[in-house]
Amino acid sequence: MEGGSPDQESVGSGTKRSSVSSGSKSRNHKEFLYRLVDCETFTANLEDWFQSLYEKSAQMKPVFDVPFELIDLQKFDYALEGVSFQQLIRMPNAVYASTSDSAEATAYLAVEDFLHATVKGLWEAFWSQDEPMPFSVACLYKENLKFYQAENAIASGRLGSLCASGVLLKNPRHPHGKWDNLLELALLRPGIQSLVGESEQQPSLHVLGEALFYALRMLISRRLSRQNLPLSSNSAFVLLVDSQYGGVVKVEGDVNKMDFDVNNVYKCAAEWIQRHARIAVSPVDRIWNKLGNANWGDIGALQVTFATFYCIMQFAGLPKHSIEDLAADHGCRLQTRRLERQLGDTRVNGSGLFRFQQHGVSPEIVEVQDESVKLESESLKQEVGSVLWLEDSNWERGYHINQIRSNGELPYYIASPVEDPGKSLFLYVGSHPSQLEPAWEDMNLWYLVQRQTKVLTIMKQKGLSGKYLPQLSASGRIIHPGQCRRPSSGGNCDHPWCGTPILVTSPVGETVADMVSEGHFGVDEAIRCCHDCLSALSTASSEGIRHGDIRPENVICVRSGESRPYFVLIGWGHAILEDRDRPAMNLHFSSTFALQEGKLCSASDAESLVYMLYFACGGAFPDLDSVEGELQWRETSWSRRLIQQKLGDVSTVLKAFADYVDSLCGTPYPMDYDIWLRRFKRSIREEDHGKEIDASV
């Protein structure tokens, strides 16, 4: 473990310069980093600055901002609900553990294992479950600032020389690690918990100075590195932990603004910290419980995990699954939980939750209307005759509201473009972004607008189109009346409509639910509906996309511009794009596998289609309020062939299709769409028998 600074090796292979001055400047920067090795001298140069900050700060106000807002941590918490973290090496508790070297050694091993579990869980949840994790964890040896596995250092009697643990990008050519491959560093220091207490307490200069020192080394090393990071490398995170508590220090700034004077290294470094660095320090909260297990769901571990998430993004790029995507699954999990608890309708007050108020000393609990939600939603409703303007990719489009419809839960509109009054389109108005942040339980509008916009965009990019699928006409944000005072940095102004998402699709038609209620759904419609929906499912499944929410409100009959009516499968907000996605939960129309496992099998959409046709053809569902009751009814109905018989009264091919779906449900075998499309095509009664049905998808 002996040797000099690793920085010559870490950053010595920089990009070749075309000019002598550039090469000289690069060598000067490397020499600067090579001499920046004494943390105590660096900290001493910050004493006056730190003291002045503390004196200027209000008595009860922290000196530094926090790196993460609470609302962002709450979103991240929702996203991590389905993520598994497992720390196997327990952290020794300071109260119960001895002060021997063995306890300190175990603490370093536990920190390494905690970082490994964090990075592994985040990588598999947000980036890839199939690709191997490209990161490793090692400890920093303060004598030469190289990285070693903690076990090796402990075995060789170098425990006292360890100063930190880090997460690094794997590099087989440099087993001792390169500083420009360092994602984040965790400083294990006793007494971090002493920072917890009264709100006026601030991190000590000794602890903060050390964090700033290592963060600055990380930033300079990345500046000198020849590797191109996917995202900005102008910020570095350092974790402060002891055997119970932990916090985050974030340092952000452009090191190009530093005066790299190799004869005055520490003064230049301290001046850059004071003039150009933006420093954020999180509250110090508990990470490990008394048994040494990490409290992954609590604020202490959450903010450390969030910092690691950002560090991975710097080196691996944007995640495959965003925080918003995973957080959206919270609504599905909440609905599933309510079904498990037999709480009945999951759409109580729109969010599946009651607000209660107790009057006086009476034990009676009554439901209270959430006026804030009511006022907010009322303000976004449009009236017939009004014109709504949409900002779409720097274009402004106006839509005239002609009709107000409902999918059984939420309103939507039939509108026509201002420039083309004869054209009809579906228009969906989403929730204002501020409504989704404090209450992720109310996700119905999010699925209807934002999630469906994403799915339709992906389908369009993959070339999935056809007459039986909805087409994305436009999407963007509403243009509200008055002047928009949206900040240039992004976000929304204080107008209640600002930032509200809009989705516009085509074609327009009558839902199967409305057709059934008006008695317009007959034999021809049942066969055509089954054929057209199977065509849509076949097209989507060719790219691995499944619908996940087939019900009478999500199938429309289109009559305009065609010699015969046809059906379009809409409502793709709950579509399954990845294995982690979850379908909608509906007692009557969700597939059996979805109700049992919260997932879809290959025949789940077809099974939901059978239930919808059973209902549309006059089949009756029992009045049930639990998953168990619904599953028992289905088992009885399928075994007694009640569903097949009902569909058989309409068409023999529908009965045969129901039998086929029954044999396929719950198995891994794929649906054979082609054979059933051909059979339904032969059964369709054409007005013009000489004309073949268009079975294209």
pLDDT of the residue at 326: 83
Q: Which residue has the tokens 């005055």?
A: 264
Measured CA distances, 520 to 85, 467, 557 (Å):
54, 22, 11
Lowest-confidence region among 194-203, 263-272, 569-578 = 194-203
Domain tally, the chain:
3
Confidence class of residue 21 from pLDDT cuts 50, 70 and 90? very low
Q: What would the pLDDT profile of 150-192 be if each residue is shown by its tens digit?
A: 888 788 777 777 888 999 998 888 777 788 889 999 998 887 7
Lowest-confidence region among 24-33, 185-194, 356-365, 419-428 = 356-365
Of 321, 353, 369, which marks where a domain is finished?
321
Q: Is the pLDDT of residue 409 over 90?
A: no
Lowest-confidence region among 150-159, 171-180, 406-415, 681-690 = 681-690
Contact 261, 228 (CB under 8 A): no
Does residue 7 belong to any structural domain of this protein? no
Two structure tokens written together for 165: 């643990």
Query: Of 68, 49, 71, 50, which Cα lies nearest the Cα of 283?
Result: 68
Does residue 335 belong to any structural domain of this protein? no
CA 374/CA 253 separation, integer angstroms: 44
Q: What would the pLDDT profile of 518-562 be if each residue is shown by its tens digit?
A: 999 999 999 999 999 999 999 999 999 999 999 999 999 999 766
Claim to verify: residue 451 and residue 525 sit in the same structural domain: no
Does residue 607 belong to any structural domain of this protein? yes
Claim to verify: residue 206 and residue 59 sit in the same structural domain: yes
Q: Percent of the chain beyond pLDDT 90? A: 40
What residues make up the domain containing 427?
382-481+493-507
Does residue 662 belong to any structural domain of this protein? yes
Claim to verify: residue 171 and residue 301 sit in the same structural domain: yes
Measured CA distances, 693 to 528, 529, 542, 593, 678 (Å):
10, 13, 22, 33, 10
Query: Of 263, 268, 186, which Cα lies nearest the Cα of 220?
Result: 268
Q: Is the pLDDT of residue 671 over 80?
A: yes
Sign of CA dihedral 459, 465, 470, 472: positive
pLDDT of the residue at 226: 73
Sign of CA dihedral 24, 27, 33, 35: negative
Q: What would the pLDDT profile of 429-466 be if each residue is shown by its tens digit?
A: 987 665 444 344 357 888 899 999 999 999 999 999 99
pLDDT of the residue at 51: 84
pLDDT of the residue at 628: 84
The one-character DSSP state at 485 is -
3-state secondary structure 387-434: EEEEEECCEEEEEEEEEEEECCCCEEEEEEECCCCCCCEEEEECCCHH
Q: Is the pLDDT of residue 375 over 80?
A: no
Confidence class of residue 689 from pLDDT cuts 50, 70 and 90? very low
| Mean pLDDT across the chain | 81
Does residue 349 belong to any structural domain of this protein? no
Span 412-425, mean pLDDT?
Answer: 92
CATH code of residue 393: 3.30.200.20
Of 321, 350, 365, which marks where a domain is finished?
321
CA 163/CA 142 separation, integer angstroms: 6
Query: Of 162, 135, 166, 167, which Cα lies nearest the Cα of 151?
Result: 162
Q: Which residue has the higher pLDDT, 697 or 53?
A: 53
pLDDT of the residue at 312: 93
Of 321, 339, 362, which marks where a domain is finished?
321
Span 364-385, mean pLDDT?
Answer: 49
Lowest-confidence region among 44-53, 196-205, 369-378, 590-599 = 369-378
Please name the residues in contact with 632: beta carbons below 8 A apart, sequence gap of 6 or more.
Answer: none
CA 470/CA 182 separation, integer angstroms: 47
Claim to verify: residue 501 and residue 552 sit in the same structural domain: no
The identity of residue 29, as a single letter, is H
Measured CA distances, 271 to 63, 216, 255, 268 (Å):
18, 12, 11, 5
Please name the residues in contact with 663: beta carbons below 8 A apart, sequence gap of 6 or more.
Answer: none
The one-character DSSP state at 449 is I
The one-character DSSP state at 263 is T
Return the bridge partners of 249, or none: 238, 281
Q: How many residues does the chain have?
A: 697
The one-character DSSP state at 589 is T
Does residue 669 belong to any structural domain of this protein? yes
Q: Is the pLDDT of residue 697 over 60?
A: no
Lowest-confidence region among 64-68, 235-239, 643-647 = 64-68
Query: Other CB atoms closer than 10 Å to residue 476's CB: what's the count?
Result: 19
Claim to verify: residue 206 and residue 308 sit in the same structural domain: yes
Sign of CA dihedral 157, 163, 167, 170: negative
Q: What would the pLDDT profile of 322-373 be if each residue is shown by its tens digit?
A: 888 888 777 677 767 767 776 544 443 333 333 333 333 333 333 344 443 3
Q: What would the pLDDT profile of 40-92 be if each residue is shown by its tens digit?
A: 999 999 999 888 887 776 555 678 888 988 888 888 998 898 888 988 888 88
Q: Is the pLDDT of residue 105 over 90?
A: no
Span 271-289, mean pLDDT?
Answer: 91
pLDDT of the residue at 3: 43
Please name the residues in contact with 136: beta carbons below 8 A apart, sequence gap of 6 or more.
Answer: 167, 168, 170
Lowest-confidence region among 79-83, 219-223, 623-627 = 623-627
Confidence class of residue 16 from pLDDT cuts 50, 70 and 90? very low
Q: Is the pLDDT of residue 415 over 50?
A: yes
Claim to verify: residue 616 and residue 645 sit in the same structural domain: yes
Claim to verify: residue 57 and residue 203 sit in the same structural domain: yes
Does residue 430 belong to any structural domain of this protein? yes
CA 612/CA 627 separation, integer angstroms: 18
CA 59/CA 609 separation, integer angstroms: 65
Instruction: Find out whether the peptide bond into 507 is cis, omega within 30 degrees of 0.
Output: yes
Does residue 644 belong to any structural domain of this protein? yes
pLDDT of the residue at 168: 92
Claim to verify: residue 145 and residue 261 sit in the same structural domain: yes
Confidence class of residue 613 from pLDDT cuts 50, 70 and 90? very high
Claim to verify: residue 535 and residue 477 sit in the same structural domain: no
In angstroms, how far is the first alpha carbon of the chain from the final one? 66
Return the bridge partners of 587, or none: none
Claim to verify: residue 455 and residue 564 sit in the same structural domain: no
Claim to verify: residue 307 and residue 389 sit in the same structural domain: no
Q: Is the pLDDT of residue 590 over 70?
A: yes
Query: Of 683, 617, 680, which Cα lies nearest the Cα of 650?
Result: 617
Query: Of 467, 541, 470, which Cα lies nearest the Cα of 504?
Result: 470
Contact 502, 476 (CB under 8 A): yes
Claim to verify: residue 45 and residue 123 sit in the same structural domain: yes
Confidence class of residue 100 from pLDDT cuts 50, 70 and 90? low
Q: Which residue has the higher pLDDT, 375 or 22?
A: 22
